[in-house]
Homo-oligomer: A and B are copies of this chain.
Amino acid sequence: MKRVVIVGLGFGGLSAARALAGRGMELVLVDRQNFHLFTPLLYQVATGSQEQESIVYPLRDIIRDWQHTRFRLAEVREIDLGERILHTDQGTISYDELILSPGSVPNFLGLESVKQYAYALKYLTDGVSLRNHILGAFEQALEVRDPEQRRALLTFVIVGGGPTGVEFAGALAELVKLELWRDYAELSREDVRIIQIEALDTLLAPFPRPLGVYAAARLERMGVEVRLNARVVGATQNSVELEGGESIPSSTLFWSTGVKAEPLVHQLPVEPVRGDRIPLAPDLSLAGHPEVFVIGDSAYVEKDGQPLPQMAPVAIQQGEYVAGVILARKEGEVPAPFRYRDKGMMAVVGRGKAVATLFGLNFKGFLAWLVWLGFHLISLIGFRNRVVVLVNWINDYLFFGRKLRLITGETNPTPINGGDPDREIAHAP
């Protein structure tokens, strides 16, 4: 029986696996996590509306009734195209056909200092780390005497005005207003700043322009300072450096200027193009290696001369497509080239409002938000997760409460006044 190996069970890999399951070939699925992560809601973990468990789903639960399918929890280290063998941290896996859907890593635009200090949202642990960091900054701000240091702790800089940046900015602004102002009533509200920085002259650049203008106005009404045409060139632990010399004191830099291909694909004998992505044949196979496919964020595919965006719907369609190619070849058929069917994009801009461009029509406001909620709810895997996410949304949106303001993990917050251990930290009210 021919063996198809799929590396990476994100949106693309999982959709390919679903389409191939039970179709008369051996499937080996490889991922370094044992769950599928629903990344579009990761920002809600970072801002205390969802627990991490409700946006992930165990892979073995999905696949265990599939025929001739096995899962291996392993990280691929090396791809041997000649021998058709993957070398992983757990051992080797041979393949007849290979689908690479390893995803992407944050694109820090080559800025080393940013890479060192910035937070991004890519992995499950990122959501929890960022939540811990935001809440930890408020805890520390209580104990800082230097007003400048306190303001830096309470200044949150968000770089990138795409959907992730906009959704995170809105969710953070609401977390602060709904909960943290009351949790930390000892702090001055004026000290809390959320600054969104975008290098272009509009937010949500891939959307029609009026939607970007609407999003900026909404965020500003929520207290977010939106700065367009501004470019970040560096960072320290306590500042964000802008082009032109301005320095913003801030101990939280959230980075969302897009992604680039997962470094694993650099092993392929093809010159990567924009965003380190791999250019491919029209059937998404690798030049000279028709048995190897690349899909999702690491694949470079154009439509009408423009590269396809690195988002879930593209990966899902590519996964279904390459599964179709593999099945067609088995029957001796020649598949038609991949064509992306663009159904649109959506982004939430705070409670009860969203923007969407769907099937060529633009929506904004409450209706777009309801569509966003419904779409994400049905996209989640598993009945339990849908119910828990819905419970959290009801709690958040109807009762205005986010009860996941937790600082978890092994570590205590770093003492900020280590130099002065004898200072009283619970001042009189």
A residues at B contact (CB < 8 Å): 3, 5, 26, 28, 32-35, 51-54, 56-58, 60-61, 64, 68, 70, 72-75, 87-94, 124-125, 135, 139, 142-143, 179, 182-186, 382-385, 387-388, 391-392, 395, 401, 403-410, 412-413, 415-417, 420-426, 428-429
Contact = CB atoms under 8 A, between A and B. Distances in A.
B406 A53 contact: yes
A90 B57 contact: no
Nearest to A423: B91
A420 B88 CA distance: 11
Contacts of A35: 406-408
A90 B417 CA distance: 7
Contacts of A383: 395
7 closest Cβ pairs, A-B complex: A51-B53, A91-B425, A60-B183, A58-B405, A28-B426, A91-B423, A73-B139
Given A61-B183, A183-B61, A387-B391, A88 B425 contact: yes
Nearest to A124: B408
A143 B68 contact: no
A403 B383 CA distance: 10
A51 to B, nearest CB: 4
A407 B51 contact: no
B412 A70 contact: no
A51 B35 CA distance: 14
Contact of A391 (B26, B186, B391): B391
A91 B53 contact: no
Given A34-B405, A90-B417, 13 more contacts: A33-B407, A51-B54, A58-B405, A60-B405, A70-B429, A72-B425, A73-B412, A90-B143, A91-B422, A92-B421, A93-B425, A125-B410, A384-B403
A105 B316 CA distance: 48
29 contacts: A26-B428, A32-B412, A34-B139, A35-B406, A51-B51, A51-B53, A51-B388, A52-B408, A53-B404, A56-B408, A58-B404, A60-B184, A64-B183, A68-B429, A70-B426, A70-B429, A72-B142, A73-B139, A73-B407, A89-B415, A90-B416, A90-B417, A91-B420, A92-B422, A93-B424, A94-B426, A125-B410, A384-B395, A385-B403
Nearest to A179: B61
B73 A413 contact: yes
Contact of A52 (B51, B56, B421): B51
A53 B100 CA distance: 34
A403 B90 contact: no
Given A34-B407, A124-B408, A182-B64, A401 B384 contact: yes
A23 to B, nearest CB: 15
A91 B408 contact: no
Contacts of A32: 412
Contacts of A428: 26
Contact of A185 (B64, B387, B415): B64
A130 to B, nearest CB: 14
Nearest to A30: B426
A29 B56 CA distance: 35
B183 A403 contact: no
Contacts of A142: 72
Interface centre among A89, A91, A143, A407 (most CB of B within 10 A): A91
A428 B125 CA distance: 34
B388 A89 contact: no
A212 to B, nearest CB: 34
